[in-house]
Structure 1
Amino acid sequence: MALYLSRLELQARLHLGKEAEQWLGHADEGEYTVIKWLYLAQEDRHQYSVTYMESFDEGDEDWQHVPEFSLLDPDAEENTAFDSVEEAVAYAVQTYGASPDRFVAGGMLAEEYARYWQSKNTSIK
């Protein structure tokens, strides 16, 4: 199975009520690193939400489940709903710089984090 969802797979997943996620990168803030990601989900039968998250980079080689990391500001979660998957994806692209071809199935964000973690720790050595 390919890591990234095709646009048709993304639409199908969301229409079936399954989530999709996307790793947006990280930012070094001096004493800590912030990781940025978002997820798309079906809110109800004809509503699709885009939720943007910023978390502290708390992962390591053994713990890479990004949704469990501490949020930078738990009260600052940005969640916007749309009437179609296409509108939700367009918003994610325009607002957060997401790539329409780099969404992963819900629960697979750890794979993206693992790549980031590996590259981060390889460059330190």
Structure 2
Amino acid sequence: MALYLSRLELQARLHLGKEAEQWLGHTEADGYTAIQWLYLAQEDRHRYSVTYMESFDEGDEEWQQVPEFSLLDPDAEESIAFDSVEEAVAYAVQTYGASPDRFVPGGMLTEEYARYWQSKNAPAK
């Protein structure tokens, strides 16, 4: 299970130059599944970026490295920078429907994906 960052932990993490991520979900379209997530990072000392990503759901039981999945449109990556962590989080919430309480440390998005993968592949009861 993923360890969600508190708002203070999220701020501290980004101020230290570490990343945070958030699983946003998936959509079905034209015979494929797309997954969406956000990536927050410090660009320089006082700039914080929010990057929205969409990729094909290429994972399986063995391979769940979401950042390595093929992007739906590599040229359509959306990233915008802000002067504060608070502004970046507010933008993520308002624009992408992110939850300020569901960010995970960078690199832990695979755990979020694993939960999704297990739920979609669970036997029907």
Residue deviations 1:13-45, cap 9 Å, x none?
A: 000000000000000113100000011000000
Matching residue of 1:68: 68
3-state DSSP of counterpart to 1:122: coil
Matching residue of 1:91: 91
Opposite residue 105 of structure 2, the aligned amino acid is: A
Matching residue of 2:14: 14
3-state DSSP of counterpart to 1:33: strand
Matching residue of 1:105: 105
Say whether the 8 Å CA contact 2:65–2:110 is kept in structure 1: yes
What is the CA–CA distance in structure 2 between the aligned matches of 1:107 and 1:2, rounded to whole Å?
A: 11
Question: What's the RMSD between the two structures over aligned residues?
Answer: 1.5
Q: May I ask how many residue pairs the two structures share in their alignment?
A: 125
Residue deviations 1:51-87, cap 9 Å, x none?
A: 0000000000111010000000000000000000000
Opposite residue 45 of structure 1, the aligned amino acid is: R
TM-score by length of 1: 0.96
TM-score by length of 2: 0.96
CA shift in 2, pair 1:113/1:2, >3 Å: closer
Identity of aligned residues (%): 86
Opposite residue 28 of structure 1, the aligned amino acid is: E
What is the CA–CA distance in structure 1 between the aligned matches of 2:123 and 2:15, rounded to whole Å?
A: 40
What is the CA–CA distance in structure 2 between the aligned matches of 1:93 and 1:53, rounded to whole Å?
A: 15
Gaps of 5+ in 2: none
